[in-house]
Structure 1
Amino acid sequence: MTSATFKPIVYLKENCPFCLKVRLFLLESGLASDVEIRDFAPDSDREEKIRAELQPHLDKVSFPSAQLEPGRYVTESDDIVAFFAAKAGRDPAGMTVYRNYVDGVFAMSMKLWKENQELKKAASAA
């Protein structure tokens, strides 16, 4: 497979806020049809197959993950978005749906997650 015929692969887990961030960017930027999206549900046989596929290429398998170019794998949602933003010549800051999610629901989810982690840490120390 040459890079001229290579289609990036994005691995997205259901109910993952980071995966939704990538999906929203791909949809709003018009790039969703330019990538192969491999969706799966947590704890499914499909997830195990995808983890086995990614394991040789990543230090730690997490999601979202993507093979952006032949042999180039990344796992950070911001890195995946930045790659596709550059490819499409799109500035995510000017994308209404993406920004509403990142600055709204996603930001609140991350704040609550961090607070929960701090509460767990405090409870285990007590």
Structure 2
Amino acid sequence: MTSESFKPIVYLKENCPFCLKVRLFLLESGLASEVESRDFAAGTEQEEAIRAELSPHLDKVSFPSAQLEPGRYIAESDDIIAFFAAKAGRDPTGMTVYRNYVDGVFAMSMKLWKENQELKKAASAA
């Protein structure tokens, strides 16, 4: 497959806040139709198959992941967004829905997750 006919692939896990961040960017930027999205639910055979597909290409398989170009894989939401933003000449900071999610719900979820991790650590040390 030549790079001219290659369509980037994003691997998005259901109910993953990082995956939703990538999906919102792709939708709001108008790029969703220019990528192949492989969506799956946690704990399914489809997830196992995707992990097996990605494991030779990534040090650690996590989601979201993407094959941006033939043989070029990454697994970090901000890096995936930066790639597509640069490619399309779009600035995510000016995207209303994306920013509302990142600065609102996403930021609060990350804060709560960090607090939970700290509480677990303190509880296990007690």
Which position in structure 2 is the counterpart of 1:50?
A: 50
CA distance in 2, matches of 1:4, 1:78: 25
Unmatched segments (≥5 aa) in structure 1: none
Runs of 4+ in 1 over 4 A off after TM superposition: none
Instruction: Give how far 1:87 is off.
Output: 0.9
Which position in structure 1 is the counterpart of 2:79?
A: 79
Letter in 2 for 1:56: P
* Residues 1:70 and 2:77 aligned together: no
TM-score (norm 1): 0.99
TM-score (norm 2): 0.99
Instruction: Give how far 1:65 is off.
Output: 0.1
CA distance in 2, matches of 1:30, 1:49: 29
Per-residue deviation, residues 67-125 of structure 1 (Å, max 9, x unmatched): 00111100000000000001111000000000000000000000000000000000000
User: What SS does the aligned partner of 2:56 have?
Assistant: helix
CA distance in 2, matches of 1:43, 1:100: 30
RMSD over aligned CA atoms reads: 0.3
Which position in structure 2 is the counterpart of 1:37?
A: 37
User: What SS does the aligned partner of 1:11 have?
Assistant: strand
Letter in 2 for 1:8: P
Matched residue pairs, number? 126
Unmatched segments (≥5 aa) in structure 2: none
